[in-house]
């Protein structure tokens, strides 16, 4: 990942302003420690902090067209850049960077080229000929982007909120799949797949087509000129990513540069479920496995730094980000700059435990649509900012644009959990890789049940967080929480504690409004509340009862089993979602 900052229409364009832009851009240097760049044009500034993954020697940014009238600063990777270059034979390229293609595409096609990009990206482009500019974010919001406005009428963009929170009167999270054009003065959506309107798809399920599409999604993310690896928890999603990458690496050209053995990484408390599961998968695949341990105290000591980097007070995000943050530091110490990760699978396949109670395929599909649209606020944010805090780039093949469009075109009847047909959650994915001739994974791993990440790293992790919060937040503080924090009021001591840390770093109203919660996300859990009537019996969002919950979901032996499904239904749901569900019930 890289860090980008752009400011347009500054009243003050003095040397002092330039110094201020450099100072603010420096706040993003953790994202791109390899080089810094700044382009100034009258009252416009484009700054860049580079993490060199592709073309480390000549791909410094900002990037330009031939006569430097078009300037662009980009955070991300454009996986189809070579194919796009073939369409631009009349253009001369200065670098081997995958991102340079953006400047030339704009020259050739104007503002309507964004849908041609296959990758994860946030970029800002300035056309110096008329001082117009555009900003865009990838389809799902894998890379972060914020937009802000200054009192002097200036417009700001930045990879992280910390680069504009002090100088902007108002700012917000830039919507994924959208483009902002100064010529039109508004955001408009460039990503318009059929599933986005929540129309119920009807395409048949073809396991071979699904498998080939996912393999393609993984392989294109091996585009790199630096050492890389896979984050391996031992669950289905990360194990499939590792299996596909390992197969390819053994016979690819990249193996001559970095070796044919895939590196895999896992973190957990001593004896945690993830460590055991990941070790088993790594042994089966023959990867060079790196197992990292942390203590509860080490995690607690990192909390403030974690919240500063991830820029949210959402409970489940903080819980899961902390071990990922610690692991990323270890990974960087090994000289690795890029990792593949398994985020997004549960959203597109309906893998969360409450999907067991979906009453029909229509509601199942509509809920997956809602989950995907919220990814940029939760799992994408966590994966990107936790790794970028240490200059590591996380790539997520399950969120490949082509792969998502394929999966979301399948008749959701195939995704439904059907115990009578032997279909557990994410059966369509498991079945696609169930190959007896050349198995990708052993069957017991391929059909392994889901483990919540913040629990998988060690069950005492969440208990430690709660105990720590209880020591810092009194009953009186929580009782008066609605007066101290009237917006997205925390309802637990743990949530209150994270909120106090967040407010110290980001005290403005605009900052707290970037974190979803309360009534604004009530619709996101309405279906789950309908599906599982006993939702309110356990408001902990961790999924603590995940083990064994699937078998219980297949039985209807009484309220006890149903309650276990409820506990699991909160996996990765944000604090505000859980609170809203309780309010509805």
> pLDDT tens, 484-502?
999 999 999 999 999 999 9
Same structural domain, 399 and 335: yes
Helices marked H in 200-339: 207-220, 236-249, 255-258, 273-285, 296-310, 315-333
**Model confidence over 406-460: pLDDT tens digits?**
999 999 999 999 999 999 999 999 999 999 999 999 999 999 877 655 567 878 9
Q: Is 2 a catalytic residue?
A: yes
On whether both 232 and 167 belong to a single domain, the answer is no
Res. 561: pLDDT tops 90: no
Domain range for 18: 3-192
Whether residue 19 is found in the same domain as residue 66: yes
- Whether 311 and 188 map to the same domain: the answer is no
How many domains are there within the chain?
A: 2
Residue 379 shares a structural domain with residue 509: yes
Is residue 371 domain-resident?
yes
Q: Last residue of some domain: 192, 226, 253?
A: 192
Task: For residues 188 and 211, state if they share a domain.
Answer: no
For residues 390 and 253, state if they share a domain: yes
Which CATH number does the domain housing residue 405 bear? Answer: 3.40.50.620
Residue 65 belongs to a domain: yes
Q: Is residue 308 part of a domain?
A: yes
In a domain, 199, yes or no: no
Report d(CA 292, CA 211) in Å as an integer: 31
Domain limit, last residue, from 192, 219, 249: 192
pLDDT value at residue 231: 98
Do strands 288-293 and 263-268 pair parallel, antiparallel, or not at all (unpaired)?
parallel
Task: Please work out, in degrees rounded to the nearest 5, the angle formed at the alpha carbon of residue 525 by the alpha carbons of 524 and 531.
Answer: 135
Tell me, yes or no, if the pTM score tops 0.85. yes
Q: How far is CA 272 from the centre of its chain?
A: 24
Residue 253 within any structural domain of the chain: yes
336 with 390: CB under 8 angstroms?
no
What whole-number distance in Å separates Cα of residue 147 and Cα of residue 158? 7
Residue 316 maps to a domain: yes
Angstrom distance (rounded) from CA 451 to CA 457: 9
Same domain, 165 and 238: no
Q: Last residue of some domain: 128, 159, 192?
A: 192
Is 234 domain-assigned?
A: yes
* Short-list 243, 498, 236, CA closest to 351: 236
On whether both 152 and 213 belong to a single domain, the answer is no
Which DSSP category does 356 fall into? G
Q: For residues 19 and 100, what is the distance between their CA atoms, to the nearest angstrom?
A: 26
H-helix segments, 473-571: 475-479, 481-484, 493-505, 509-513, 522-531, 549-554, 559-569
Q: Quote the tokens at residue 523.
A: 């619709």
How far apart are alpha carbons 335 and 244 in whole angstroms? Answer: 23
pLDDT digits (tens, 9 = 90+) for 85-110: 999 999 999 999 999 999 999 999 99
Of 2, 44, 99, 380, the catalytic one is 2
CATH number at residue 175: 3.60.20.10
Backbone φ and ψ for 418, nearest 5 degrees, come out as -125, 90
Q: What is the pLDDT of residues 265-280, one digit of tens each?
A: 999 999 998 999 999 9
């Amino acid at each position: 990942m890289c860090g980008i900052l752009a400011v347009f229409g500054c009243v003050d364009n003095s040397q002092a302003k330039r110094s201020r832009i450099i100072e603010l851009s420096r706040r993003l240097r953790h994202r791109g420690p390899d080089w810094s760049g700044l382009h100034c044009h009258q009252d416009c500034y484009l700054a860049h902090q580079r993490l060199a993954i592709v073309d480390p020697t000549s791909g410094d940014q900002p990037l330009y067209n031939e006569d430097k009238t078009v300037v662009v600063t980009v955070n991300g990777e454009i996986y189809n850049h070579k194919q796009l270059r073939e369409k631009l034979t009349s253009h001369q390229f200065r670098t081997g960077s995958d991102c340079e293609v953006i400047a030339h595409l704009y020259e050739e096609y104007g503002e309507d080229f964004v849908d041609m990009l296959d990758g994860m990206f946030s970029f800002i482009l300035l056309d110096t000929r008329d001082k117009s500019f555009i900003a865009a974010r990838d389809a799902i919001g894998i890379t972060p982007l914020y937009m802000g406005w200054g009192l002097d009428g200036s417009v700001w963009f930045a990879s992280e909120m910390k680069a504009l929170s002090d100088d902007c009167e108002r700012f917000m999270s830039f919507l994924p799949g959208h483009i902002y054009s100064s010529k039109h003065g508004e955001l408009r959506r460039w990503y318009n797949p059929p599933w986005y309107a929540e129309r119920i798809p009807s395409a048949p399920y073809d396991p071979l087509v699904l498998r080939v599409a996912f393999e393609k999604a993984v392989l294109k993310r091996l585009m790199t000129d630096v050492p890389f690896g896979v984050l391996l928890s031992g669950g289905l999603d990360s194990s499939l990513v590792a299996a596909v990458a390992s197969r390819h690496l053994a016979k690819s050209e990249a193996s001559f540069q970095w070796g044919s053995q895939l590196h895999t990484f896992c973190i957990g408390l001593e004896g945690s479920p993830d460590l055991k599961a990941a070790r088993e998968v790594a042994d089966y695949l023959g990867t060079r496995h790196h197992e990292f341990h942390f203590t509860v105290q080490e995690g607690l000591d990192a909390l403030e730094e974690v919240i500063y980097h991830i820029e949210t007070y959402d409970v489940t995000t903080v819980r899961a980000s902390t071990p990922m943050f610690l692991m990323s530091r270890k990974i960087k110490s090994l000289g690795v700059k890029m990792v593949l990760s398994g985020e997004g699978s549960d959203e597109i396949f309906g893998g969360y435990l409450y999907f067991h109670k979906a009453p029909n395929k229509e509601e199942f599909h509509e809920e997956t649509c809602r989950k995907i649209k919220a990814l940029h606020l939760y799992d994408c944010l966590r994966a990107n900012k936790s790794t970028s805090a240490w200059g590591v780039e996380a790539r997520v093949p399950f969120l490949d644009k082509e792969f998502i469009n394929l999966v979301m075109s399948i008749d959701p009847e195939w995704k439904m959990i059907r115990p009578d047909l032997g279909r557990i959650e994410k059966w369509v994915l498991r079945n696609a890789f169930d190959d007896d001739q050349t198995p990708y994974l052993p069957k017991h791993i391929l059909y392994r049940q889901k483990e919540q990440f913040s629990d998988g790293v060690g069950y005492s992790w969440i208990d430690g967080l709660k105990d720590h919060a209880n020591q810092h937040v009194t009953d009186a503080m929580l009782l008066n929480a609605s007066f101290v924090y009237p917006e997205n009021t925390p309802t637990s001591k743990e949530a209150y504690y994270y909120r106090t840390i967040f407010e110290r770093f980001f005290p403005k109203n605009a900052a707290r409004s970037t974190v979803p919660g309360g009534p604004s996300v009530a619709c996101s859990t309405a279906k789950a509340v309908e599906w599982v009537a006993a939702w309110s019996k356990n408001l902990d969002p961790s999924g603590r009862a995940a083990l064994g919950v699937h078998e219980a979901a297949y039985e209807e032996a009484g309220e006890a089993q149903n309650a276990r499904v409820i506990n699991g239904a909160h996996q990765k749901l944000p604090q505000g979602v859980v609170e809203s569900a309780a309010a509805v019930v």
